[in-house]
Amino acid sequence: MTGTLVLVPAPLDLGTEETPLEDVLPRGVIRRAAALAHWVAEDARSARALLKRVHAIEPLTLPLQAIQITELPRPRKGSHTPVPAEAWHALLQPALDGHDLGLVSEAGLPAVADPGATLVAAAHAAGVPVLPLAGASSLLLALAASGLNGQSFAFVGYLPQEAASRTARIRELEALSRRLGQTQLMIETPYRNAALLGALLACLAPSTRVSVSCGLTLPGGWTRTEAVAGWLARPVQMPDRWPAVFGLLAAA
């Protein structure tokens, strides 16, 4: 009998003032997290911080120091060689030994816009059951709040930082959105939020709708959706510490 790879959502308040855990995670998820003794995390320090918050509500089964937390492997800096499959399989050893194994990201749902997806793929290949637990996904919350097309959408990740490449990518996404009637979602590192919004407003047609969701689940978080012309007429100051999700939908 193998254990289960349990996908444990994390709150969306990384790097900001903490929100009450019970406001963003169901009590059942908190209980399940408290019972896990084996974890794989994007960052061990943020995983321990989350477990401390869990413990304040639901006592951990083991002392925090006794809980095994292993970080996801990363390619060596400057190397384009992918992490070998054996390294991902090795992370699953607790589950293969019969223990449930938690997977946690730094924020939101693990394996969604997150390197943990490779571990989930390895679990399927190894015959380890995968159990996702309910929690906030910034992408889906932003899409729901945007009023853009929720029937057809794509997440395109980060855009290029170099100005000419970014402009070309934005125009490509706008053309794709117009042709398919499809919402295009993207993210950016918080300190570049203003730069991305500025690039979108400079490149897109005046009638293309742009949505920005900033600080989702945080006190004072907001979503605004308007045509480019409206954004230009009423500029906004983008926070440089809050995460944001950007969306666009071109007029047919």
State yes or no: pLDDT of 221 exceeds 70: yes
Domains of the chain, first to last: 5-132 (3.40.1010.10), 138-249 (3.30.950.10)
State yes or no: pLDDT of 26 exceeds 90: yes
For residues 165-175, average pLDDT? 97
For residues 17-44, average pLDDT? 95
The pLDDT, as a whole number, for residue 79 is: 63
The pLDDT, as a whole number, for residue 113 is: 86
For residues 137-143, average pLDDT? 95
For residues 138-162, average pLDDT? 96
Dihedral in degrees, nearest 10, Cα atoms 191, 193, 196, 200: -170
Dihedral in degrees, nearest 10, Cα atoms 44, 46, 47, 49: 120
The pLDDT, as a whole number, for residue 252 is: 83
Identity of residue 219: P
For residues 111-118, average pLDDT? 90
The pLDDT, as a whole number, for residue 74 is: 80
- 104 beta partners: 8, 41
H-helix segments, 151-242: 163-180, 193-203, 228-233
Q: Which helix (H) or strand (E) holds 93?
A: helix 93-96
Across 4-8, 12-16, 159-163, 201-205, least confident range: 12-16
Q: Higher pLDDT residue, 146 or 18? A: 146
State yes or no: pLDDT of 205 exceeds 80: yes
The pLDDT, as a whole number, for residue 85 is: 87
The pLDDT, as a whole number, for residue 14 is: 85
| Predicted confidence (pLDDT) per residue in 57-88, tens digit | 999 999 999 999 999 988 766 667 788 888 99
Q: Give the contacts of 249 (CB within 8 A, at least 6 positions apart).
A: 148, 149, 177, 181, 182, 183, 184, 208, 209, 211
Q: How far apart are CA 206 and CA 141, in angstroms?
A: 25
